[in-house]
Amino acid sequence: MIRLCRLENETLSSVATKDINISEVSEHTVEIITNSGEGAQKCAQIFGQTCAKMGNGVWTVEIIPAEIEPPHHTVTSTSGNIIRFGTDKVTNWGDQSKLAVAFNDQVLLSRHRLDSLHDNCIILQESLWENHEDEDIRRMYREAMEEMSSKNYRFVNVPIEEEALKIVSNPSHGKNMFALGLLAEIYQRDVSIIERQIAHIFRLKSQKVIDSNIELVKAGAAWARENLDFQFHIPSVPAEEERIVMNGNQACGLGSIAAGMELCSMYPITPATSVSHELAEVIENYGGIVHQAEDEIAAAGVAIGASYAGKVALTVTSGPGMALKTEFIALAIMVEVPLVVLDVQRGGPSTGLPTKVEQSDLLSSIYGQPGDAPRVVIAPRSIEECFHSMVTARRIAETFRTVVIVLTDANLATGVQQFTRPELDVRWQQGPIDQSPVPEGLRPYEWDPKTGMSRRIIPGMPGGAHTVTGLAHDELSLVSYHPSGNELGMRMRSRKLAVFQSTLMPPEVHGDEEGDLLVVGWGSTHGAIEEAVDRARAEGRKVSSCQLTFLSPLEPGIKDIFSKFDKVMTVEINYSDTVGDPYITEETRRYGQLAWLLRAHTLIDIDCWTSCPGQPLRPKDIYQNIIAKLEPSQDIEIGEAS
Amino acid sequence: MSSLAISLLDLEADAGVCFEAEDYQKRPGKWCAGCGDFGALNAVKRLLAKEQLQPDRMVFVSGIGCSSRFPHYVNAYGFHGIHGRALPLASGIKLARPELDVFVVTGDGDCVSIGAGHWIHAIRYNMNMVVMLLDNNIYGLTKNQTSPTTPLGYSSMTSPHGAQLPALDPLQATLGVSNASFVAQTADWVPAHLYATLEAAYDHPGFSFIRILQRCPKFTPDIFEQAVKDPARTELLVHEDGVDPPGLEKLYEARREHDPKDIDEARSLARRDDMIRLGVFFRDDSLPVYEEVRAVPKVTPQEKINRLNKEFERYAV
């Protein structure tokens, strides 16, 4: 532990009343664990934003039950948030939490059982339960403490509810802000930033609500100041460029505005819905609307109708909604109407894990239609890319008259990270379609035989009247069952993907361009994979990684890149069989979804390590599997989180 | 291009062109001889000529089924979509481009069965479009399966011993939905009434739902036979705010004054199955239309950028 001078803080404390150990660390991971409905998200949201505004790198992850407010004080009622923040950029949720604030023993126990807490985790625990008048509660507490005694957790009892009750009558609406105050003091956060955040978050509430929340924060800070003998200092490096901080769904929402899309047609589904929350609040200032359709199918239909009529629209959904939109997506591809579909992936199949992360929609997004329906599929790798992916998606959809599916996931959707403030470009808004009269004789699908591309004609264009149809059709858009005509249409729709692929650059390799192992991922696992690879590389291992963004068509040059490594392994948050399990052999094994794709694409014997725990991958688990792949026979030691 | 520029283009195109009904026929309909859909197509062509609508600024939208082939035969923009989903497509078109005239052609399988959810909600959205339900009481294109409007006991390939359930009445259903603004029934074999009903529907600023009783000579030739042969089985609902085409008085002696503003009476008439009733059951021109409810001022691309840059301040680090 390093003893530093006490930092002067704007309002929290100017006088240190006793000796406090201030440990300087390059990063820390904090959990706020509560019953659902006790406001952990608001507490963490403000804390994360404050860290970002103070110049720390930040990544947050929500712990959400599927129910709105399940029975309290149980292991299934856990709601919370993990905030990892550090001196440098933080790209993922890391390995384990070093400090936790827990509102009761049961929700804490659930985190312990998930191995989410570091062995030396400091736990600020509600003191109410240990000596509660109800014997059942005392017994549950004792049993939980007994179970957790296998670890070296350091427990600190905090009278959270008792203190909150001094300020508010309903502790459920106050404990979270008291906890925020504890964290503010422990990590020397700037309270003026916290106050501004509170004022913004509660802007629709009364001044009284804002004032009492600020009072609670100050009470929490004061309690920590008087009772705790430790603090952590995480230096921050001022950013060279302007940055903004938000979650992936907010980034997609604002990205769609930057892309000039004026209609978001959606149906509520977790974890995608908050994209429309973000948009619904602001989009009308941008000449657009959010249309909440009667179902997922109609949401796609309205978007396609609008796009057909000239306004490229967005529809936002998650896995089960993708399944319902399937037929409409194929229609858009068949009639060559541009459409942007955002799929915020969750756990599946069926209703699956509504609030939790998975990367299981890759193959269904690429192939999930009867018939051959080529479309573009892209997967942003960070929250910053979520923003820009919407601009890219619209541009591709409109240029190639096709459907672009953007795959994010629950990790990106609710994760909060700061990124370089985008420099907006008026060209992103896209020039309006050329609506000049259609030249006499121009066919509705005048496919360029080389590229499959054709001019987009929309209603209102003089001389262009024709009927589009989901039936097989010829260049005149006439229903055609002629064998060669059907094949021509297929070829032209497919050709566009090849033309688009020719505009792409090969993916970048993180690390050396040759070595023993290449780890390949896609989408949101980017940060965790690179952190794990860096850990292995620091030990001198010849490992590199490559994170794909374009999945259909795949980026060029992949086979060349792969061929420079002895082994190639995908890392994905989805299911794959493990060879050696009953009945599972090289012949019966089902691979992770990207692995299937890449094996078919490259004819290289690509392995995979996948996991579908309903939470983001941890760098330490990826690291462990990198080592296992490199040294199959050796015992594995899990690397310590740095 | 702004909508203003579009209308300027249209004005240029307007000059000196006069459309006859036949100008709206793009190609001959490929329905069976004697199909009621021809009657609907003829009435639509008459309406388009009367209103002198520009082929370039209207869209015919359909789903799947015999009736949904309709857009292929009209000289206009058309979107022949997927089964049951014409209404979401039409809604999207209207939301994006309210200045376009939108017509939806659907059938009893398309609208009342697989697309029923969209139908109910489209009534509630009340967007300004004409919706023609060509109801032949059967699935025709897939060759003779029971539809929701097939009469109880009527046999088909899927109900060889007769339909087991009473028919779903589209009029009662439509009249039961909040925000319904125009509900009418007509028949393909009474062309004057069909045309007048279409005229009224086009005139109505909102979701104009017309159920057109439509003969299918192939699979349900007998269902409307009695009604066609014996006009006494049909009652016309007449009113100055409804339809009362001239020349039908002699043939259709049963006439009932029905004020289309009276929703209770409309529902009561729809429930009665003693006669076939043709006319406007309900009409309320005052209900808000969704595309106007959701209309927002246009914002230039540069202004959007300015506002978004300001929005970023909220997220600034």
* Cβ separation B59–A284 shorter than 8 A: no
* Cβ separation A304–B56 shorter than 8 A: no
- Residue B15 confidence (pLDDT): 53
Q: How far apart are CA A154 and CA A120, in angstroms?
A: 7
- Residue B6 confidence (pLDDT): 44
Tokens of A67: 């129910």
- Residue A1 confidence (pLDDT): 32
Tokens of A8: 């002067």
A368 burial (CB, 10 Å; 0-12 / 13-18 / 19+) is: middle
* Cβ separation A282–B311 shorter than 8 A: yes
Q: How far is A390 from chain B (nearest CA, A)?
A: 15
- Residue B266 confidence (pLDDT): 98
Scanning B199-218 for CB atoms below 8 A from A yields none
Q: What residue in B sits closest to A288 (Cα-Cα)?
A: B296
Show residues of chain A in contact with B71, CB under 8 Å.
467
Q: How far apart are CA A412 and CA A245, in angstroms?
A: 13
Q: How far apart are CA A438 and CA A465, in angstroms?
A: 9
- Specify if A4 maps to a domain: no
Tokens of A135: 């014997």
Q: Convert the pLDDT of each residue in A3-46 to its tens digit.
A: 333 333 333 343 445 688 999 999 999 999 999 889 999 999 89
B164 residue type, one letter: Q
* Cβ separation B97–A460 shorter than 8 A: yes
Q: CB contact, 8 Å: B75 with chain A?
A: yes
- Residue A634 confidence (pLDDT): 55
- Specify if A641 maps to a domain: no
If one counts every other C-beta atom within 10 angstroms of the C-beta of residue A271, the result is: 26
Q: CB contact, 8 Å: B6 with chain A?
A: yes
How far is Cα of residue B252 from the mean position of the Cα atoms in its chain? 24
Q: Which helix (H) or strand (E) holds A291?
A: strand A289-292
- Residues A163, A260, single domain; the answer is no
Q: Which helix (H) or strand (E) holds B202?
A: helix B191-203
- Specify if A238 maps to a domain: no
Q: For chain A, give the mean pLDDT.
A: 93
Which of A630, A629, A625 is closest to A638 using CA atoms?
A625
Q: Convert the pLDDT of each residue in A300-312 to its tens digit.
A: 999 999 999 999 9
Q: Which of B6, B60, B92 sits opposite A302 (nearest CB)?
A: B92
- Residue A238 confidence (pLDDT): 79
CATH number of domain containing A548:
3.40.50.920
- Residues A335, A405, single domain; the answer is yes
* Cβ separation A304–B75 shorter than 8 A: no
pLDDT at A330 over 90: yes
Q: Which helix (H) or strand (E) holds A448?
A: none
The string of DSSP codes covering A343-408 is EEE-B-STT-BTTS-----HHHHHH-SSS----EEE--SSHHHHHHHHHHHHHHHHHHTSEEEEEE
- Residues A155, A87, single domain; the answer is yes
Q: How far is A255 from chain B (nearest CA, A)?
A: 10
Q: Convert the pLDDT of each residue in A391-411 to its tens digit.
A: 999 999 999 999 999 999 999
B126: left (phi over 0), alpha (psi -120 to 50) or beta: left
Instruction: Give the whole-number percent of chain A exceeding pLDDT 90.
Output: 86
**Which CATH superfamily, name and number, covers B19-288?**
Thiamin diphosphate (ThDP)-binding fold, Pyr/PP domains (3.40.50.970)
* Cβ separation A471–B311 shorter than 8 A: no
Show residues of chain B in contact with A265, CB under 8 Å.
92
Show residues of chain A in contact with B121, CB under 8 Å.
293-294, 298
Q: How far is B309 from chain A (nearest CA, A)?
A: 8
Q: How far is B114 from chain A (nearest CA, A)?
A: 12
Q: Which of B2, B56, B92 sits opposite A306 (nearest CB)?
A: B92
- Residue A7 confidence (pLDDT): 39
Q: CB contact, 8 Å: B55 with chain A?
A: yes
Q: Where are the alpha helices (DSSP H) in A54-134?
A: 105-113
User: Among residues A233, A268, A291, which one ends one of the domains?
Assistant: A233
pLDDT at A438 over 90: yes
Scanning B86-145 for CB atoms below 8 A from A yields 87-97, 99-100, 117-118, 120-121
Tokens of B149: 């409007």
* Residues A173/A202, Cβ–Cβ less than 8 Å: no
- Residues A172, A248, single domain; the answer is no
- Residues A221, A266, single domain; the answer is no
Q: How many CB pairs under 8 A join A and B?
A: 200
Q: CB contact, 8 Å: B19 with chain A?
A: no
Residue A205 gets which letter from DSSP?
Answer: S
* Cβ separation A301–B100 shorter than 8 A: no
Q: How far is B236 from chain A (nearest CA, A)?
A: 35
User: Where is pLDDT greater, at A433 or B124?
Assistant: B124
Q: How far is A582 from chain B (nearest CA, A)?
A: 44
Q: How far is A149 from chain B (nearest CA, A)?
A: 41
Show residues of chain A in contact with B299, CB under 8 Å.
285-287
Q: Convert the pLDDT of each residue in A92-134 to its tens digit.
A: 999 999 999 999 999 999 999 999 999 999 999 999 999 999 9
Over the range B206-216, which residues count as b (16 or more CB within 10 Å of their CB) and which as e?
bbbbbbbbbbb
User: Among residues A214, A233, A252, which one ends one of the domains?
Assistant: A233
Show residues of chain A in contact with B96, CB under 8 Å.
263, 305-307, 309-311, 313
- Residues A100, A204, single domain; the answer is yes
Helix axes B86-96, B116-125, angle to 10 degrees: 30
- Residues A527, A598, single domain; the answer is yes
CATH number of domain containing A107:
3.40.920.10
Residues in chain A, overall count: 642
pLDDT by residue, tens only, chain B of 317 residues: 333 334 444 444 555 679 999 999 999 999 999 999 999 999 999 999 999 999 999 999 999 999 999 999 999 999 999 999 999 999 999 999 999 999 999 999 999 999 999 999 999 999 999 999 999 999 999 999 999 999 999 999 999 999 999 999 999 999 999 999 999 999 999 999 999 999 999 999 999 999 999 999 999 999 999 999 999 999 999 999 999 999 999 999 999 999 999 999 999 999 999 999 999 999 999 999 999 999 999 999 999 999 999 999 989 88
Chain A interface, mutation test: which of B30, B311, B317, most A Cβ atoms within 10 Å?
A: B317
Domain coverage including residue A580: 515-630
Show residues of chain B in contact with A471, CB under 8 Å.
80
Show residues of chain A in contact with B13, CB under 8 Å.
437, 462
Q: How far is A298 from chain B (nearest CA, A)?
A: 5
* Cβ separation B95–A305 shorter than 8 A: yes
Q: Which of A244, A285, A331 sits opposite B81 (nearest CB)?
A: A331
- Specify if A456 maps to a domain: no
Q: How far apart are CA A625 and CA A611, in angstroms?
A: 11
* Cβ separation A479–B72 shorter than 8 A: yes
* Cβ separation B77–A282 shorter than 8 A: no
Q: How far apart are CA B127 and CA B291, in angstroms?
A: 6
Q: How far is B120 from chain A (nearest CA, A)?
A: 9
- Residue B54 confidence (pLDDT): 95
- Residues A115, A61, single domain; the answer is yes
Over range A189-196, report the average pLDDT.
94
Show residues of chain B in contact with A469, CB under 8 Å.
72, 80
Q: Which of B61, B71, B297 sits opposite A287 (nearest CB)?
A: B297
- Specify if A382 maps to a domain: yes
- Residues A32, A71, single domain; the answer is yes
The SS3 call for residue A85 is: strand
The ipTM assigned to this model is 0.95
- Residue B16 confidence (pLDDT): 63
- Residue A436 confidence (pLDDT): 85
User: Among residues A429, A447, A466, which one ends one of the domains?
Assistant: A429
Domain boundaries, chain B: 19-288
* Cβ separation B294–A335 shorter than 8 A: no
Show residues of chain A in contact with B305, CB under 8 Å.
258, 424-426, 429
Domains in chain A, number: 3
Q: Which of B1, B72, B309 sits opposite A424 (nearest CB)?
A: B309
* Cβ separation A467–B55 shorter than 8 A: no
* Cβ separation A286–B305 shorter than 8 A: no
CATH number of domain containing A406:
3.40.50.970
Cis status, amide bond into A349, omega within 30 of 0: yes
Show residues of chain A in contact with B59, CB under 8 Å.
309, 459
- Residues A279, A165, single domain; the answer is no
Q: What residue in B sits closest to A50 (Cα-Cα)?
A: B317
Tokens of A381: 């790798």
* Cβ separation B100–A459 shorter than 8 A: yes
Q: What is the dihedral of CA B265, B271, B275, B277, to 10 degrees?
A: 50
- Residues A100, A210, single domain; the answer is yes
Q: How far apart are CA B241 and CA B260, in angstroms?
A: 7
Show residues of chain B in contact with A286, CB under 8 Å.
299, 304, 307-308
Chain B interface, mutation test: which of A302, A339, A418, A471, most B Cβ atoms within 10 Å?
A: A302
* Cβ separation A335–B296 shorter than 8 A: no
- Residues A335, A378, single domain; the answer is yes
